[in-house]
Homo-oligomer: A and B are copies of this chain.
Amino acid sequence: MPSNTYYNLPTTKKDKIFKMALEEFTNNSYNDASITRMVETLKIAKGSIYQYFNNKKDLYFFLIEQVSTKKLEYISSNVKFETSDFIELYKQILKIGTRFDIEYPTYSIFLSKVFSGNHDPFKNETIDSMKLMSDNYIKNLIIQARDNGQIRKDIDIELIAFFLTEITTNIGRYIMKKNDINQQKLVSNIKNDTLNIQIEKALDDTLELIKKGILA
């Protein structure tokens, strides 16, 4: 947990430190991420960081908690659970999630690295339980939809869940790459609808593939 000293910091300084830390841990594995490099870039003393956070791990877990919360809030504040049509509901979640990925690419990349757990020295129960919760959430939606006769019953539910999440986890970054979207472009186009339409179309097509497959 960060100290009060950190929370009492002027917002600009707090944000600068947060942003820098997130960048450092996004571009490097936990061990490669360097506090020393951070403080050099930020032009603050090394001791300061250790007044804000107990240690490197504390800072890292703070980032995870903040970024996860941000994404969850973003999604839950936008989803409207009005439909009982699974596909429509899933489309909503997918669109909002993808919009988040595109609006906050650093957050999205950071999270995917944390969850992939590739070069993470911590077996973190928080992360594991979040992963489990998210998996179960999707699985329950699918079970309901199957019971309602919306989804085929001849294929293992877990395989369908894998199939869905595999696609939807990475579609955001695929769209960004494909349409050559970067943060500059985003800022200047955020109110330009052409970009939004392209994204919308890619997501609709993706769902069409998920629904009906690739056969002619």
Contacts and interface: CB of A to CB of B under 8 A. Distances in A.
B152 A216 contact: yes
The secondary structure that dominates the A interface is helix
A178 to B, nearest CB: 7
Interface string A189-213: 0000000000000100110111111
Interface stretch (A14-22, A47-55, A60-68, A156-164): A156-164
A47 B208 CA distance: 58
Given A153-B216, A215-B152, A216-B150, A119 B159 contact: no
A214 B211 contact: yes
Contact of A214 (B31, B151, B171, B202): B151
Chain A interface residue number, banded: 35 or more
Interface in A153-194: 153, 155-156, 158-160, 162-164, 166-167, 170-171, 174, 178
Interface of A: 28-29, 31-32, 87, 113, 116, 118-119, 146, 149-153, 155-156, 158-160, 162-164, 166-167, 170-171, 174, 178, 202, 205-206, 208-216
